[in-house]
Amino acid sequence: MRCPHSTAYVLLLRGVLACFLALALSGCGLAGKGGAQDDPRAASPAAPPVAADDGQGDPVPYAVAIEAGGGHKDLLEQMRSVSQLVRLKHEPPDSLLALERRARADVETAVRLMHSLSWYDGTASFRMDEEARPVQVTLGLVPGERYSLGSAHVVYDPAPAIPPAFVNRTRSAGFWGLDAEPVPPPSFPDVLPGVAVGSPVIAQDMLAAVEALLQSLQRQGYPLAAVTDSRYVLDRESRTLHATVCIDPGPPAAPGPVEVRGAREVDPAYLQRLTPWATGREPWDADAVEDYAAHLRALGLFRTVEVRPLAENLVPAAGEDGIAVLPLEVTVAEAPFRSVGGSARYDTDTGFGVEGFWEHRNLLGSGEKLTLAAPVATQEQGLRAAFEKPAFLVRDQRLLAAAFALREDTEAYKKTAAGVSTDVERRLSRYWWGSLGVKGESGSISDEERDTQAFGFFAPRLGLRRDARDNTLNPADGSDIRLELAPYAGMYGSPFTALGATLSASGYYAPLRKGGRPDDRLVLAGRAEAGVMMGASLRTLPAAMRYYKGGAGSVRGYAHQSLGPRNSDGDPLGGRSFQTVNLEARYKITDSVGIVPFLDGGMVYRDEFPRILGDMRWGTGIGLRYYTPIGPVRLDVGFPLQPIGGDPPAQIYISIGQAF
């Protein structure tokens, strides 16, 4: 079917859908039953000749009033926002003639604005009171009767082809990701979605609807879909506008190989391994392409990343599947790979702490990250090292390794030790990750009941994680569930074995929406966590392996390690199980500043299993957040609701990042 052309005479697209559609849909036609004499601008007052210049003179201060027939407060507000008279009021012209030019420019702007809001018969005029001081300029708008949308047809030329591979597809679904749900085949609506017939025609809404339709096609396997023609016909008798949008859907295509340009020290093969699609085997998805670009930007390797389809290199469909292959081009500009930095924190119970670090983000040429850190705090001093190799053997798998040598001095124990760990983490489905690794630690430790004594342990570990958060640094929606199991074998005076397990679940909910997406102005966040250590008595375990709660990372308002069993001197002993609950309401006052009221609860137990919600101590308080590109800076003030003797009435915590 060919895109229809009106047999009626056609007016140039001057007023219809205003400047918005004039920019986006240049070359469109406009026809109306009323004839050329019904051009909406013909009703505007004729503009008398204006002299080229009248020379420089004294500034002419003026006041502006804008009036609209029938009230129309929204129209008045929008006119004020685009009025040259209003915008330049504090820059008076140097003559009355120059002031008149501004007024005439506003008349033209007013007519275009009314057309963009479907007042196609709207007229505008101005008057000047030159005797008033300051000069009074009044701009008058007469909108007339508002037009509505009579029809909005979509015509595809050529007719779209739907290959068999785009039909009867499935994707993983359900909480566990083990269910299969059908993927709807591509749809080609013949009526423009997103606009309502019978409602006023808003230019911006029409543009958005056309763009949304193109984006929908580009997410369903038609990357080259484009508007080829548009016609907007006015029926002045019925006060309606009839729209016809012609679209060339382009060939159905799958994403092809990636060509990398601009990479000098980063291996292009590494960037090609990161593509989230099966090359040449699945429908093109513009969202997946954008996610790929966003992932490359988040690597910290590049100053800029641009990803575009190479339409000129399209490989036409061959064989029975009928799918073309569209290569992509990735152009990057590498950033410095090495950086030096630091962070600081402050808690009233543990004092100041600083940490300096050195980082290399491309150690071996494929995005390998090595971080060396030196924490210096009242309770901890030493060195830490962490290594990450992304896309280890396959795209969705990474190798993690860490080592440390630290000295810790807390209320519960003093420890000098070194340790290492290695894990392989792999994506199992859309949200699920699994990990398998091993860790070990050796050193000396002392507490209030034992003098300094050597200890050491070895533990394989298994992890399972479901991460459905929309943002890892500052989530507004989704959940994060983690389970870790670790059987321990070690020596602390005598051999011991134990099985440790921790389970945590965090959830985030944004009750407000913006553009159909969660709005992070208000986020309700919650976390529940529990841990057990089975198979060994409390005193058989080195003090550093026991659980401790209280402080910035668990129950705010209480001192560090203060919750749970204590010895006869009142010092914390730690426990074999724990449970904590954290609730926050994160409200943004501005884009960069927010407040966070919170409620925390928790307890540590001697027993192997926690008493569900039993004997918990609760703390509450208020926090202040300053949001930065690398995450929020956090200031929390916590108050214990069940104070422990000797603890201060409030605790203050300053650090970087959300509490959870």
Q: What is the pLDDT of residues 99-126, one digit of tens each?
A: 999 999 999 999 999 999 999 999 999 9
- pLDDT tens digit sequence for 513-548: 887 788 889 999 999 999 999 999 999 999 999 999
At 19, the pLDDT band (50, 70, 90 cuts) reads very low
> Would you place residue 578 in the very low, low, confident or very high pLDDT band (cuts 50, 70, 90)?
very high
Please report, rounded to a whole number, the percentage of residues in the chain having pLDDT higher than 90: 69
Is the pLDDT at 54 greater than 70? The verdict is no
Per-residue confidence (pLDDT) for residue 17, from 0 to 100 = 38
Question: Which amino acid is residue 30, in one-letter code?
Answer: L
Query: What are the residues whose beta carbons fall under 8 Å from the beta carbon of 461, sequence distance 6 or more?
Result: 423, 435, 436, 437, 438, 439, 484, 485, 486
Comparing 144-158, 317-331, 442-456, the range with the smallest average pLDDT is: 317-331
**Residue 13 Cα to chain centre, angstroms:** 38
Q: What is the CATH number of domain 338-656?
A: 2.40.160.50
pLDDT of residue 519: 87
The predicted-structure confidence for 238-275, as pLDDT tens digits, reads as follows: 999 999 999 999 999 999 999 999 999 999 999 999 99
Assess whether the previous peptide bond of 134 is cis (omega < 30° from 0). Answer: yes
Lowest mean pLDDT among 167-176, 226-235, 305-314, 624-633: 167-176
- Residue 356 in this model has a pLDDT that exceeds 60: yes
pLDDT higher than 60, residue 29: no
Rounded to an integer, what distance in angstroms lies between the CA atom of residue 551 and that of residue 561? 7
Question: Residue 151: what pLDDT?
Answer: 95
Read off the DSSP letter of residue 250: -
- Exposure of 632 by Cβ count < 10 A (0-12 exposed, 13-18 middle, 19+ buried)? buried
Average pLDDT, the chain: 87
In percent, the amount of the chain with pLDDT more than 70 equals: 91
CATH architecture of residue range(s) 253-334: Roll (3.10)
The CA-atom distances, in angstroms, between 653 and each of 354, 508, 526 are 14, 22, 19
Supply the pLDDT for residue 658: 86
| Span(s) in the chain for CATH 3.10.20.310 | 39-142, 253-334
Helix (H) or strand (E) holding 272: helix 268-273
H/E stretch holding 242 reads: strand 240-248
The residue written with tokens 């409200």 in the block is 587
pTM of the model: 0.73
Q: What is the pLDDT of residue 21?
A: 36
Q: For residue 4, is pLDDT > 80? A: no
Express each pLDDT in 131-188 by its tens digit: 999 999 999 999 999 999 999 999 999 999 999 889 888 887 777 777 788 889 999 9
Enumerate residues 6+ apart whose C-beta is below 8 A from 336: none
**Does pLDDT of 605 surpass 60?**
yes
Query: How many CA atoms lie less than 13 Å away from 296 in the CB half-sphere?
Result: 29
Superfamily of domain 39-142: membrane protein fhac (3.10.20.310)
pLDDT at 280 over 90: no
Average pLDDT over residues 275-284: 88
User: What pLDDT is stored for residue 3 in this prediction?
Assistant: 57
Report how far residue 564's alpha carbon sits from residue 533's, in angstroms, rounded to the nearest whole number: 15
CATH topology (fold) of 148-248? Ubiquitin-like (UB roll) (3.10.20)
Residue 509 makes CB contacts below 8 A (sequence gap 6+) with 477, 523, 524, 525
User: Given this model, what pLDDT does residue 50 score?
Assistant: 39
Q: For residue 51, what pLDDT band results from cuts at 50, 70 and 90?
A: very low
Q: Which residue has the higher pLDDT, 645 or 415?
A: 415
Contact 406, 385 (CB under 8 A): no
- Looking at the predicted structure, is the pLDDT value of residue 453 above 70? yes
Query: How far separated are the first and last CA of the chain, in Å rounded?
Result: 57
pLDDT for position 56: 56
pLDDT at residue 320, rounded to an integer: 62
> Average pLDDT, stretch 599-620?
91
Q: Where in the chain do CATH 2.40.160.50 domains reside? A: 338-656
User: Mean pLDDT, to the nearest integer, of 54-68?
Assistant: 83
